[in-house]
Structure 1
Amino acid sequence: MNLFEYHAQKSAQASRPLADRMRPKNLDEFVGQTHAVGKGTLIRHAIEQDRIFSMILWGPPGCGKTTLARIFAGETGCHFVHFSAVLSGVKDIRSVIKDAKNQQKLFQKRTVLFVDEIHRFNKVQQDAFLHHVESGLITLIGATTENPSFEVIAPLMSRCRLITLKVLLSEDIAVIVNNALKDNERGFGKMNLVIEKDALSHLIRIADGDARAALNGLETAAYLVISGIDSSKTGKPAHITLQVLENALEKKALLYDKSGEEHFNLISAFHKSLRGSDPDAAVYWLGRMLSAGEDPFYIARRMVRFASEDIGNADPNSLGVALNAMEAFKFLGHPEGELAMAQAAIYLATAPKSNSVYTAYGKIKGVIDSYGALPVPLHIRNASTGLMKKLGYGKDYKYSHDHKDAYVPQNYLPEKLEDQLFYAPTDRGYEKTIKQRLDGWRDLKKTAKTKI
């Protein structure tokens, strides 16, 4: 390499985005995903033993799918081909296959074909890989943010191992950002930059587990700071403050602390808005929490709790709506999953309200504390043996389905609690129907006791 080529290469390196420059080159540099690449895992063992296999990497954006594929190919000495499902078609696949044959024939090198966004390929395009994956000519690594069981054809899935990658933790993003600030060759190590604690916290919240987004934000903020300042000459570190980061990201840091007062204030405002049947306020507080980086599943769990505590049987569907919103968010993630959360919040806010279930269960816990473990009445005990029957287990039990409307007056509570009523349904929503039915049954029970 001559001097001109050397400087050209250095210039090209410097012009690459920070996220690309900081891409880990081996598993020791790889941050996070220990469940997939840690000691004793399938991928690490395969690299150490030089045994490659086809796989589908399923995970959210910026979690390390492309990086892991490059490491897998590089550490095993394979020819690496990066293939975009968005920009390529069957013709391009044929070209890759031809190149793989040449690599094998001329250099005895295996080819790892990395297909980014493999879920965007149609059935015909995916079919084009099958024979070559099966023959071993190419080792396919597909990357997808979508559920591969829906998006990747079954024959191809059966020939690949599924590796699930998770959203990077806040600690992982912090390590990645600090590594970029310290790295002299690929990062900002020579620029003497420091990111302040509140700025780092804001960057982590905005990145939301996406390493690429975090490094892109850091890069923009860094260049804002160093423009007009040469900290290497002054000897003083240049600080990336919260204000600088907000300007770089064009996104304000909302007042929020996941473990502080504002955390509890906002969830309280959300819960009370739902209870107060105000869908506008409920969605506002939901948006505030999500925008500030609150754990969506913390909010989803609160909605599930609310469905039983404040709606109950006034609208039995509300519990299913809340649970479905949680599942939808698991499936979609940010930002699409936020709509499912908003839909559920509006449904819960506009549903008829009742705390009868909550009140009934509270009474029951109080009775249990007061009376302890009262014996089960003999007639509703399980008479599974002859001895039990001799002791009177199950005696005089009346089978409900043998009676009109599948109801027969009999006592099911312990003797000391025989006349206790815990559940008092309201006249709202479906509980109105329950109340009418329950009042009828309770009247029959009173009549039966009078006759006795």
Structure 2
Amino acid sequence: MTSDDLFGAASAADRAEQPASAGHAPLAVRMRPRTLDEVRGQGKVLRPGSPLRRLIEGSGGAAGPLSAIIWGPPGTGKTTLAHLVATAADRRFVELSAVTAGVKDVRSVMESASRERDLYARQTVLFLDEIHRFTKAQQDALLPGVENRTVILVAATTENPSFSIIAPLLSRSVLVTLESLSDEDVADLLRSALGDERGLEGAHTLTDDALDHLVRIAGGDARRALTSLEAGAGVALDAVPPGRDDDGPVEITLAHVEQAVAQAAVRYDRAGDQHYDVASALIKSMRGSDVDASLHYLARMLEAGEDPRFIARRIVISASEDVGMADPTALQTAVAAMHAVAQIGMPEARIILAQAVVHNAMAPKSNAAYLGVGEAIADVRAGRGGAVPPHLRGSGYAGAERLGHGAGYVYAHDEPDGVARQQYLPDDLEGNVAYYRPTDRGFEERLRSRLQWLAGRLGRSRPQ
């Protein structure tokens, strides 16, 4: 809960008129957009006529404004948009955090909101940050106020609302999905902060490589970008020699930014050659079973701002191409990691990716499945493989029996060991191909003896 008393919280309009603590507030707070025109990177959800824009502009329709669930990564403007909703029509603004608030706090807000509405005809906007941390019972407590529109609920979450928010609350709210800011948006924000009277007021300049580094480490997070800029400005000021005659702006260099955020610039261009070089090095290090090198290249990709979903997809491919049946669980880990990363996002996604990378790197290796399908495709493209044996052809349509389709087919489950002795390959391939050749590594060592046994039961001569 904020320091404002629930029964006398200042309106957003009142707050906007107050000075931003004369520069004592963090730069990210001072640079918070005051109007829709200052909001960056969310053009899709703020287009004219969109539900969120109508809510902010106070035009909710005859039934009144709807509540909103704002879902997006950190630093994309969820709190800012909540403040803008409150500014419309001099609404009263109350802020709670799901980390510290409980059902009692929610009920107190509802009671005070009801009094504000009845006595002063003023709506209350309840901004609930990190709503995904609320339990089902706590979210249930919000329903009456949202249903009766006692409050306009603006709830923020970084997790998929479909999994973290109860269906009745979702159905009574507009779902707004925010996107990470583009690199261009972040760069524009940093340039604006350098000269804005609410920001650094022209007291600093920023070198191009320092700007590039700030954009890279921000990862689309406006708050992180501004916080890093402010820290870099502090380091630059500390580095100014005493008694400097020049009263001009202080330059913020890459070294100042690196020192401020304790993070060296990663020489990595997501759109250039190094994107492919580092990704290739990750794959080859996992294939080569060097777990330390694998984690190093994973770290380089993450620190460069690489999309964790891209990394996860590469790991899934490696789990089949390089590990394969030598450890079938590697693919399970990789696929689970890919889905988890999509739901969780950074920075926690790094832990999930690391687990999958370690599994791949440490697992016994086999590319037998990869080679097998490649050889089978080559045969098909070369025209090998005649007609499907008649007993394997489909027999579930009229006239199939007259054509002899399915005649003589042996249902494998009727056999004592579940293996039916009959021909499966086309005539020209029968006895001439062995696409899958398991290694003697890991789980495949057990598959080799199984494969030999199966060939005998099928009555096949299988080339080695």
Q: Corresponding residue for 1:394?
A: 406
Query: Residue type of the partner of 1:328?
Result: A
Choose 328-337 or 146-155, whichever is displaced more: 146-155
- 1:116 equivalent in alignment to 2:129: yes
The CA deviation at 1:321 is: 0.5
Distance 1:59 1:431, change over 3 A: same
One-letter amino acid of the structure 2 residue matched with residue 438 of structure 1? L
Query: How far apart, CA to CA, are the structure 2 residues paired with 1:377 and 1:92?
Result: 72
Report how far residue 354 of structure 1 moved.
0.8
- Range with bigger deviation, 253-262 or 147-156: 147-156
Residue of structure 1 equivalent to 2:156: 143
- Which residue of the partner structure matches residue 14 of structure 1? 23
User: How much has 1:31 moved relative to structure 2?
Assistant: 1.3
Q: Given the alignment of the two structures, is residue 258 of structure 1 paired with residue 270 of structure 2, yes or no?
A: yes
Moved more, 75-84 or 59-68: 75-84
2:439 aligns with 426
Whether the 8 Å contact between 2:66 and 2:172 is mirrored in structure 1 is: no
After TM superposition, the structure 1 = structure 2 runs for residues 5-404 of structure 1, keeping only pairs within 5 Å, are 10=19, 12-48=21-57, 50-51=59-60, 52-89=65-102, 92-93=105-106, 95-121=108-134, 125-148=138-161, 151-152=164-165, 155-183=168-196, 185-188=197-200, 190-191=202-203, 193-225=204-236, 239-371=251-383, 374-404=386-416
Of stretches 310-319 and 122-131 in structure 1, the one that deviates more from structure 2 is: 122-131
Partner amino acid for 2:298? L
Residue 323 of structure 1 deviates from its aligned partner by 0.9
Further displaced range: 267-276 or 83-92: 83-92
How many Å separate the matches in 2 of 1:423 and 1:139?
Answer: 62
Q: Secondary structure at the match of 2:396?
A: coil
SS in structure 1 at match of 2:45: helix
Cα distance in 2, alignment partners of residues 406 and 77 from structure 1: 75
- Output one character per residue of 1:389-408: Cα deviation in whole Å (capped at 9) or x when no partner: 33333333332223342222
For 2:365 and 2:87, locate their aligned partners in 1 and report how far apart those are by CA, in whole Å: 60
Match of 1:303, SS state, is helix
Deviations 1:134-162 (A, max 9, x none): 22221112223345456545554454333
Give yes or no for contact 1:409–1:441 (8 Å, CA) kept in 2: no
**1:315: how far off?**
1.5
SS at match of 1:161: strand
Q: Kindly state the Cα deviation for residue 326 of structure 1 after the two structures are TM-superposed.
A: 1.6
Aligned partners of 1:310 and 1:353 also within 8 Å: yes
Look up the match of 2:455: 442
Given that residues 50 and 76 in structure 1 are in contact (C-alpha distance below 8 angstroms), is that contact kept between their aligned partners in structure 2? no
Question: CA contact under 8 A between 1:173 and 1:214: conserved in structure 2?
Answer: yes
Tell me by how many angstroms 1:308 deviates: 0.6
1:339, distance to aligned residue in structure 2 (A): 1.5
For 2:126, the aligned partner's letter is L
The equivalent position to 1:417 in structure 2, one of 421, 429, 438, is 429
Secondary structure in structure 2 of the residue aligned to 1:221: helix
Letter in 2 for 1:204: V
What percentage of aligned pairs have identical amino acids?
45
After superposition, the Cα gap between the structure-2 partners of 1:443 and 1:155, relative to the gap in structure 1 and judged at 3 Å, is: closer
Task: Please report how far the alpha carbon of residue 10 of structure 1 lies from its aligned counterpart in structure 2 after TM superposition.
Answer: 5.0
Decide whether the 8 Å contact of 1:409 with 1:448 is kept in 2.
Answer: no
1:379–1:397 contact (8 Å) kept in structure 2:
yes
Name the Cα RMSD after superposition.
3.1
Larger proportion of helix: 1
Taking the aligned partners of 1:439 and 1:17, their CA distance within structure 2 comes to 70
Tell me the equivalent position of 1:4: none
Question: In 2, Cα distance between the equivalents of 1:245 and 1:408?
Answer: 69
TM-score by length of 2: 0.83
Of 280-289 and 367-376, deviating more is 367-376
CA contact (8 A) 2:75 2:222 kept: yes
Report deviation, 1:121.
Answer: 4.4
Amino acid at match of 2:176: I
Go from structure 1 to structure 2 and tell me whether the alpha carbon gap of 1:259 and 1:122 turns closer, same or farther (over 3 Å shift).
Answer: closer
- Provide, for residues 28-48 of structure 1, a one-character-per-residue CA deviation record: whole Å limited to 9, x for no partner: 321123443334532124445
- The aligned amino acid for 2:181 is L
Q: CA 1:314 to 1:91, structure 2 compared with 1: closer, same or farther past 3 Å?
A: closer
Deviation at residue 12 of structure 1 after TM alignment: 2.5
User: Alpha-carbon deviations, 1:146-201, whole Å to 9, x = none?
Assistant: 45456545554454333333333333322322332343x3234544x543332222
State the SS of the aligned residue for 1:141.
strand
SS in structure 1 at match of 2:450: helix
- Hey, what's the Cα distance between the residues in 1 that align with 2:409 and 2:166? 56
| Per-residue deviation, 1:350 | 1.9
Q: Conserved in 1, the CA contact under 8 Å of 2:387 and 2:426?
A: yes
Q: Name the CA distance, whole Å, in 2 between partners of 1:82 and 1:333.
A: 25
Once the two structures are TM-superposed, the CA of residue 440 in structure 1 deviates from its matched residue by 1.8
Structure 1, unaligned stretches of length 5 or more? 1-7
Cα separation, 2, equivalents of 1:268 and 1:367: 29
Larger CA deviation: 275-284 vs 418-427: 275-284
Distance 1:447 1:276, change over 3 A: closer
Secondary structure (helix, strand or coil) at the match of 1:140 reads strand
CA distance in 2, matches of 1:398, 1:284: 54
